[in-house]
Amino acid sequence: MKSPSPDIVRDFPRISPELVAQASAFQPAILADVAGRRGALHGRIAALRHRMKLAGSALTVEVRPGDNLMIHAAIALARPGDVLVIDGKGDQTAALMGTIMMNACRQVGIAGVVVDGAVRDSLEIDEMDFPVFSVGTNPNGPTKLASGRIGHPVSVGGVTVRSGDLVVGDADGVVVIERESVEALLQAAGRKVEDEAARIEAIKKGNTAAKWLDSALRSAGVLKENETL
């Protein structure tokens, strides 16, 4: 009989620092587009302050609603460049993290926190300028009683996240890219940025017509065959 997997998975492949650095140059919107419009977390998970950005390898944590025991364990196990991605079940009745834990995260080199749950001490976190993406805030503190899991796949903001996947966030939200796809998608992202820059330049010169629009309207049944706007 196969033994159950441990609650804490300590070793897993991570994205190289070089690829993380490349990814940090792209907006999550660009990465989501080239990933087939997949991987973007639900908009309820947003930057605590609009200027906050992050990029790194996911270190996944699953907790019971309102309990942060396993987040403390994850901080102790994290490596520099990791992003804590926490499945807090979307609970907003208690904050899972505050400035004490955020200071610990920064001290050990964690690149940021993404939590499907609430945080607190938002003014102090703002002053720290440490990137935090959450469902919101709540002054109520958490318990430290319940078990959970670290390093296992989690569902955060409607997206399955595995430890080692690429996580990138900015004012628009957070996108997660499967680690096996990162290198190819970064190349596609570079091409998309070039294409969009060329399109914007054309628009500024007066070429505002979208070449694909008539065809799309015909396919949708809005225009008849051979009809144009």
pLDDT of 182-204, one tens digit each?
999 999 999 999 999 999 999 99
- Specify if 193 maps to a domain: no
Give 120-126 contacts, CB < 8 A, sequence gap 24+: 120/95, 121/95, 122/48, 124/98, 124/99, 125/48, 125/98, 125/99, 126/48, 126/49
Burial class (CB in 10 A: 0-12, 13-18, 19+), 35: buried
- Specify if 227 maps to a domain: no
What type of residue is 197? Answer: A
Contact of 126 with 48, CB cutoff 8 Å: yes
Phi, psi of 152 (to 5 degrees): -90, 160
Which CATH number is 26's domain given? 3.50.30.40
pTM of the complete model: 0.93
pLDDT of 19-77, one tens digit each?
999 999 999 999 999 999 999 999 999 999 999 999 999 999 999 999 999 999 999 99
Q: What is the mean pLDDT of residues 153-164?
A: 97
- Specify if 71 maps to a domain: yes
DSSP assignments along 43-101, one per residue: TTSEESSTT--EEEEEEEEE--TTB-HHHHHHHHH--TTEEEEEEEEEEEEEEEE-HHH
- Specify if 214 maps to a domain: no
Print the domain residue range for 88.
17-187
- Specify if 9 maps to a domain: no
- Specify if 192 maps to a domain: no
Tally of helices (H runs) and strands (E runs) in the chain: 7, 10
Q: What is the mean pLDDT of residues 98-109?
A: 98
Number of structural domains the chain divides into: 1
CA neighbor of 142 nearest in space, from 93, 79, 199, 215:
93
pLDDT of 172-182, one tens digit each?
999 999 999 99
- Specify if 5 maps to a domain: no
- Specify if 229 maps to a domain: no
Mean pLDDT rounded to a whole number for the chain: 95
